[in-house]
Amino acid sequence: MALRFGILLHVRNFPGQRGFVLVALIGLALSLATLTGGLHARPQATGSTQGTPQNSPAAPANPPQAAPRSALNIVVLDPAHGGADLGARGTEGIRESEVVLQFSAQVKRSLGEQGFQVILTRDGNEDPSFDDRSARANAQRGAVFITLHIASTGLGGTVRTYVMPDAPPLNDATGLIPWDRAQAPFVGLSHKLGDMVQAELAMRFKGSPPTALVAPVRQLRTTAAPAIAVEISSVSVAERAELDRMIPGVAEAIAHGVVAFRPSYVLPTPPGTAAAQGAQP
């Protein structure tokens, strides 16, 4: 049996108009060799056995199906804010847009050590739009999206992971999904990724929640991939060094969480189906 499976993810974003994501134009082609009597025919024996009917080996009633392969090999890493958008600011002059770049640099290294290709939405003082950041992930095949933030409040030395709330199933037979609902088919996988990353964070940072939290994060809504937001507390620390000491642990936790999630990520199926919602058997 030859099994071919292909996905084309096409994103269109028109300036000043509502964009649409053409998610999961999925073609599934299964070709089976024609089973005929001649396929299993055996040459007739000579001598006294000639003409004796020969039994063909029985084909299995349920041929084994190839297990879906994980296609996850890219992480799109989004250091939040940038440019004129400084993000949260602390009393000691700490700026979220600057600190988060240091976190993202170490996270990139840790993910690279685990064999992932890492794409940054910014690596300097730029401020890409929300749609531009999402488009970096939406243009990839086999990717997850992680946006990094530093909180303005919260217990110092803790970290939280956020995922989007569950969304109603998308049953549009055309496969067209409104741009602002691009995350909908991936919410289930996003929750699984968020829980795995948060479990790693909770082991390293006392007081952090054990599982991911749900919140309508703007940056996640337009991302057509498993997507999470990781928020470190906080810019209100007395000294910048308190945040700097968290960098290695945050990077290690995110990398280990993505590695743990990798077997759960399979190529999506058409919108509106259980698998597209991230359901696992």
Helices 187-204, 247-261: inter-axial angle, 10-degree rounding: 140
CB-neighbour burial class of residue 81 (10 A; exposed 0-12, middle 13-18, buried 19+)? buried
What integer is the mean pLDDT of 7-25? 39
Q: What is the DSSP letter of 254?
A: H
3-state SS assignment for residue 111: helix
3-state SS assignment for residue 12: strand
| Distance spanning both ends of the chain, measured CA to CA | 24
pLDDT of 61 strictly over 80: no
On whether the 74-266 domain is CATH 3.10.20.30, my answer is: no
Lowest-confidence region among 156-165, 203-212, 244-253, 271-280: 271-280
Please give the sequence-ordered ranges of beta strands (E in DSSP) within the chain, or none if there are none.
2-12, 20-31, 74-79, 117-120, 143-150, 159-163, 176-178, 213-214, 227-232
Q: Give whole-number Cα distances, 2 to 61, 66, 215, in Å.
A: 17, 10, 43
pLDDT (tens digit per residue) in 75-89? 999 999 999 999 999
Read off φ and ψ for residue 17, nearest 5 degrees. Answer: -125, 170
pLDDT (tens digit per residue) in 161-217? 999 999 777 676 676 778 889 999 999 999 999 999 999 999 999 999 999 999 999
Q: Among candidates 96, 84, 93, 90, which has minimal Cα distance to 125? A: 84
Query: Domain residue spans in the chain?
Result: 74-266
Place 27 in a pLDDT band, splitting at 50, 70 and 90: very low
Between 130 and 64, residue with greater pLDDT: 130
The tokens of 258 are what?
């993505």
- 0.95 surpassed by pTM: no
Average pLDDT, the chain: 78
Q: Are 247 and 1 a contacting pair, CB within 8 Å?
A: no
pLDDT (tens digit per residue) in 136-169? 999 998 999 999 999 999 999 999 999 999 977 7
C-alpha 92/C-alpha 52 separation (Å) is 95
